[in-house]
Chain A
Amino acid sequence: MHSLEFDIAHFLAGGMVVISLLLLYQDRLYALINVFALHSLALALAVGWQAYIQDAHHLYVTAGIALLFKTIFIPVALHRIIRKLGIHRTLEVVGGVGRDMLAGAALVALAILVMLPVTAGADALSREDLAFALAVVLLGLLLMISRHNAVSLVIGFMSLENGLVLAAAGARGMPLAVEISVAFSVLIALIVIGVFLFRIRERFDSVDMQAMDAFREERRR
């Protein structure tokens, strides 16, 4: 059971969780995007490995999409966006490494506690994969709510989506059509978000969510 194949799959999926934790305390936007690229690379490798051991060829396409879009295209696009916005030098105040790490570790523990008993019937590989995938999703959500910058929000959303793809690949693959449509929807989301970022900047001179909240507060009165 504990073959080399299992160990590698375990390693790659666990690597994604570790990279998700890394994402949590990156206070520079460039670094954040680079770590996200690493995250997507790990995803591509994990899905590719799944394709190899499951002998499911359509998963290679999934891995290719992850490599092409999420590892290369989206990070490059985000790099360009923040350079255009002129916020590549801004430091984002992150709540504190210790606190975030503790919260992240608790979420990982929660994911494993939930998933392992629920999937008692499935084989070990997909159980581990599902637990890791849930952890990645939860960490992505945590990233989204702990950041102020809109770009960080986008990164959180994308890493969350990576977790979903990992889960789908582990669970004996989902239909290719679904995967492709998800990939395209993420791309379109990127485009829409990119456009919005510029629009928001035009209006508010900032992509800091707190600044926008201030406007909302005024409108509300």
Chain B
Amino acid sequence: MPLPVLLMLSMALLAISIYAVAVARQPGGSRRVYGAALAISTLALILTLTHLLTAPEPVTLTLPLGLPWLGAHFRLDALSAFFLIVVNLGGGVASLFALGYGQHERAPERVLPFFPAFLAGMSLVVLADDAFTFLFAWEFMSLTSWALVMAHHQEPANARAGYLYLVMACFGTLALLLAFGVMAGPNGGYDFATIRAGDMSPGVATAALFLALLGAGSKAGLVPLHVWLPLAHPAAPSHVSALMSGVMTKVAIYGFIRIVFDLVSQPIPWWGGGLVLALGGITAALGVLYALMQHDLKRLLAYHTVENIGIIFIGLGLAIAFQANLMYASAAMALTAALFHVLNHSLFKSLLFLGTGAVLTATGERDMERLGGLIHPMPWTALAFLIGAAAISALPPLNGFVSEWLTFQAILLTPELPQWLLKFLAPAVGALLALSAALAAACFVKAFGITFLGRPRSPAAAQAQETDRYSLAAMFTLAALCLLAGILPGLVVDGLGPVVGLLNGEARLVAQHNQPWLTLAPIVDAKSSYNGLLVLTFMALSGTAAAFLIHRLASNALRRGPAWDCGFPDASPATQYTAGSFAQPIRRVFGSIVFQAREQVTMPPPGNGSPAKLEVKMRDPVWDYAYMPITTAVVAASTRANDLQYLTIRRYLSLVFGALVALLLGMALWR
């Protein structure tokens, strides 16, 4: 029964979109629209959660919409239920946040109508059960999110980001279209049930894998298809950024999983898994390096999304490799890790983007170099942001640690694979993953430290105010979920059981709910286990003990002294560590190779009072080597084709005539 209700809820979201056109300009309009979106998302969340936990039998429904001979097929199974939870959780929290945040929107008529439609589009992608409905919903999702990216189109950077996003979205949809075309075969069975039941040749399966990598990868932000993501995600209003980064990339991953693990009936060759694994590793490492070099808070978060997509794809690549070798128990581990990270990333990335939104409302600044000291005026935002930063840095007892730990557990199972290439590749990717985890921690020490600690670097930061209750409620909901998923990982793993079973030939991890003390023991207790509750208890006890000892043994007298008093009692805030200086060591080590970073120091000669200058130049290797050649070729081709625009009418007719005769000649000779 939940499927028709879910579809009706999506329709209700679309209706709210239309309603939002009418009320966008009214004073209370934004409250009403976001309130309705919140209510619908919550309802859908409860429905899907109960469906996943109680009756994971697939439900299907065919409506006489769309193509006349196909109809619109919808299906709710464990996989779509899980991703619907991600979508509706993210959508609900973003709506809650926007109840407060949306009040500050300068152009509500550009945001309100598209926001519920965007949510509906994402839900429909996940529910679609035929290629046409899937692609239609996918394009709908892309276009509505594009409209949201273009909400503040007056800024040239946003317009450029929107254009790039549109180009990449078209490219991705084209790849997916071809993927479905290849899988449907010459008989054109475009509903997923037919595709699932049909037998494919191994070549078709491989082609579908490549096309799904291109199509879903470009949406998710897989290197080298990520270029649009760090430009487009920050351009949207913050609650939409949270949705795009936290949820829409997950819908893209849903598309990949649906095609590769569900629809492709032929086993994917093992090297396909190796390819996905290698791409995931490169994406993770490059993404976090990019993120470290950013001083714009939202852009940093967007680049960091690229890293997390890499981690998820590492899990998926391992799962493909294990499945190709019929090692379903190990594949269950890898899949659980990937899906767990999907949930986790949607939680903490949304949380961080919402926190950035709160900072943006309070100060009007996104540039870290102009923030600082916000922990004093905004203590609650700072706390929520800190929890998110710790979770994304994979610190126990929060949720990020669990999924990365599971990914490492899956990597540790790879020596059992028979292929030597994978035996060597997996540890290398593991090293990249470890590197990116460490760099992520550095990245978020920088993000939190520069933004919230120290002293304000601009008057705007000095006059910041704590954000409103709705925003805080949204952030703390997510923070609480981060903590819960971290200390009760067994419940999440059990909830993921039906999803993993669906994708993995009914093989799943052992049930965790009867493990003692909420321990997570994916294989056997003796081999590896993790207990978030224990870690939390230990941290709480040792923290309390340390605080107690310090307060007991140290002097009680409260002292307030000037900070940074190294001979300059009234040093300006500019003498603090900056975001740039924080990233400098890592830029020296990695950036000089990866980004060809070049630093140039200009020292004024003695006697000259002008300040010294440090210039850093960086190049994006992906842009330089992958995109510039394409751009150059397109420009060159269109310059040449431009001549065709100024022909005389006889020349045009001659062209038509020549083409016709050539085609007929070809036809006559061919036969």
Contacts and interface: CB of A to CB of B under 8 A. Distances in A.
The answer to whether A and B interact is yes
Interface of A: 107, 110-111, 113-114, 117-118, 134, 138, 141-142, 144-145, 148, 209, 213, 216, 220
Contacts of A209: 648-650
Contacts of A216: 646, 648
In the A-B complex, list the 7 residue pairs whose CB atoms are closest, starting with the nearest: A113-B668, A213-B648, A145-B653, A141-B657, A114-B668, A145-B654, A114-B664
Contact of A145 (B646, B650, B664): B650
Contact of B657 (A114, A134, A142, A148): A142
A216 B656 CA distance: 20
B661 interface: yes
A94 B654 CA distance: 16
B634 interface: no
Interface string B362-377: 0000000000000000
A144 B661 contact: no
Contacts of A148: 650
A171 B660 CA distance: 21
12 contacts: A113-B668, A114-B667, A114-B668, A117-B668, A117-B671, A118-B667, A138-B660, A138-B664, A142-B657, A148-B650, A209-B648, A213-B648
B185 to A, nearest CB: 27
B649 to A, nearest CB: 6
B558 interface: no
B630 interface: no
A141 B653 contact: yes
Nearest to A137: B660
B651 to A, nearest CB: 9
Contacts of A141: 653, 656-657, 660
A110 B646 CA distance: 31
B669 to A, nearest CB: 9
Nearest to A120: B671
B242 to A, nearest CB: 52
Contacts of A138: 657, 660-661, 664
Interface in B45-70: none
B665 interface: yes
Contacts of B668: 110, 113-114, 117
A76 B649 CA distance: 26
Name the residue among B646, B649, B665 with the largest chain A CB count within 10 angstroms. B649
Nearest to A213: B648
B657 A145 contact: yes
Contacts of A118: 667, 671
Contacts of B660: 138, 141
Interface in B287-329: none
B652 to A, nearest CB: 9
A190 B278 CA distance: 66
Nearest to A141: B657
Given A113-B668, A213-B650, 17 more contacts: A110-B664, A110-B668, A114-B667, A117-B668, A118-B667, A118-B671, A134-B664, A138-B660, A141-B653, A141-B656, A142-B657, A144-B653, A145-B657, A209-B648, A209-B649, A209-B650, A216-B646
Contacts of B646: 216, 220
A215 to B, nearest CB: 11
B667 A107 contact: no
Interface in B618-651: 646, 648-650
A142 to B, nearest CB: 7
Contacts of B657: 138, 141-142, 144-145
A133 to B, nearest CB: 13
Contacts of B671: 117-118
A209 B653 CA distance: 13
A114 B667 CA distance: 7
A211 to B, nearest CB: 11
A110 B665 contact: yes
B414 to A, nearest CB: 58
B650 A107 contact: no
A141 B404 CA distance: 69
Nearest to B669: A113
Contacts of B656: 141
A142 B657 CA distance: 7
Contacts of A110: 661, 664-665, 668
A41 B632 CA distance: 57
Contacts of B661: 107, 110, 138
A110 B657 CA distance: 13
A40 to B, nearest CB: 22
Contacts of A142: 657
Nearest to A146: B650
A117 B664 CA distance: 12
A167 B656 CA distance: 20
B596 to A, nearest CB: 44
A106 to B, nearest CB: 9
B575 to A, nearest CB: 62
A209 B665 CA distance: 30
A208 to B, nearest CB: 11
Contacts of B664: 110-111, 114, 134, 138
A134 B646 CA distance: 30
Nearest to B655: A145
Contacts of B665: 110
